[in-house]
Amino acid sequence: MAKVWKILIGPASFFLSAFLLWGTFTPAASFAIATAVWMALWWIIRPVSIYVTAFVPIVVNAFFNLIPNSHVISQYFSEIAVMLLGSDLICLTWTTTGLDKRVSVKALCFIGTSMKNQIFVWFLASTVLSIFLPNVVVAAIFCPIAVAMLRSVGEDDVTESRMALSILLAIGWGSGIGGFGSPIGSSANLVAVSYIEKLTGHEFMYYDWVIRFLPLLAIVFLLNLIFLWLIPAPAKDLPGTRAYFREMYSKFGTMRRGEKIGLYLFILATALAFIRPLFASFLPAMKPAYVFLVIGMLMFFLHDENGKTMLDWQYAESHAMWGMIFLFASGLALGRLVIETGAIDRLAVIIVGLQLPPGLMTMAISCTFACFLSELSSNTAAASISIPVVTGITGVMGVNPIPYILGTIVAANCAYILPVSTRAIPVGYGLNPSLQIKYGIRLSILTCATTIIICTLFMNYSPLFNEL
């Protein structure tokens, strides 16, 4: 009976939320927001698999016809889903060849077993790399390596492992916040650049972006790092010592042909994603998603040192992380629901009608609105919706919109709670979603409040934050 009640809590919360929102929002918009409430509750209490919850948007839309079904279904094999599948195919060969053990032990030799060092290195690497690469790519690169490392020290049940918690959170959250470090770090940033260039009448250069956002990124990084360090862990160190792992690594011997193919093709896919601007003009459709899929498909044709194919379909079908792909897609589908039903437009109208005074209060509403949107969908969708709202609010006030836009783009890249978008990838690799939500709520409040205060101070005292 307890399980039945947990199951019923989801649809009950859905209908209750829709009823409470009815009148303020249209019926379709009310159902869209209520869908987010249902999914969040099921992700927390988990009466069914988190991957089953990923299909709730399809079920709701089938019953209530909120938007065209094709708009929801198409999200479940979008371009990002293609990239995740391609990355997964490549990484499956790491397991079949034993490369995962070699890489994980090498990582332990390099980083050491201190939990603080582990968290710092994974968080720093994820943040720095996501400044230049898509956030999803970064998370997809690091998660399998981290999980392999954790399993090599006996943390086989990643979902229940408290040692794995902080490391996987560091990768998921680091991959997110690094996005506002450069204009190319996130497509959301390009939305901001477009608006700023229209407002200023001149090009917003890469240098202009970096000198404004690098101090903010450093502050957010430090706050997040301290928070990660303070998450309780059962021990200060992973099992083993550097000397022990060096000895273990020496026993692997030289790399075999299969391991080399798995490693070199993984590096090649990552490099091609990084240098895409060099070949985009003559291969415009070959985006990172399709680079990873093409290279992943090569694994079905290439042979290891024993003459066996690197990957066969039977193994790929049974070991591919289909659940992670659907979990990621559910966030995109939910985003389409809340956007296309007009729920977000209505919320924006309510915010504009508040007639806020310029300064701290307007910055607070702008940043909070962007944070809320990025939790429900993606940072790109959050920026596309929140920046026009911010420019509308500042236009009514007759104040400079630039500092509010800059604050909004930081907030849009700082999402920590629901397992959607980039945050779905660590969950797909075993991170407990209820713990991500628990700690994500706390960090989201801290980071949003810090962003509001720092951006307000910069607006008042830094000429760079106000220049038109």
**pLDDT mean across residues, the chain:** 85
Q: Is residue 39 part of a domain?
A: no
Q: What is the mean pLDDT of residues 360-385?
A: 81
Q: Is residue 86 part of a domain?
A: yes
Q: For the purposes of burial, counting CB atoms within 10 Å of the CB of 315, is it exposed (0-12), middle (13-18) or buried (19 or more)?
A: middle
Closest CA to 165 of 235, 244, 92, 106: 235
Q: What is the pLDDT of residue 241?
A: 65
Using an 8 Å Cβ cutoff, are 168 and 158 in contact? yes
The two structure tokens encoding residue 392: 């509308």
Predicted model pTM? 0.76
Q: Is residue 284 part of a domain?
A: yes
Count of domains in the chain? 1
Q: Is residue 330 part of a domain?
A: no
Q: Is residue 334 part of a domain?
A: no
Kind plus residue range of the DSSP H or E element containing 208 = helix 206-230
Q: Is residue 297 part of a domain?
A: yes
Q: What is the pLDDT of residue 443?
A: 95
Q: pLDDT band for position 286 (50/70/90)? A: confident
Q: pLDDT band for position 294 (50/70/90)? A: very high
| Residue pLDDT, tens place only, 295-341 | 999 999 999 899 999 999 999 998 887 887 887 788 778 878 888 89
Sequence-distant (≥ 6) Cβ neighbours of residue 103 within 8 angstroms? 94, 145, 148, 149, 263
Domain that holds residue 119: 82-187+204-317
| Residue pLDDT, tens place only, 239-259 | 876 777 788 788 888 889 999
Q: Is residue 63 part of a domain?
A: no
β-strand partners of 22: 25
Is the pLDDT score of 468 beyond 70? no
Percent helix, strand, coil in the chain, to 5, is 75, 0, 25
Q: Is residue 374 part of a domain?
A: no
Sequence-distant (≥ 6) Cβ neighbours of residue 77 within 8 angstroms? 325, 329
The three-class DSSP label of residue 434 is helix
The three-class DSSP label of residue 399 is coil
**What number of residues does the chain have?**
468
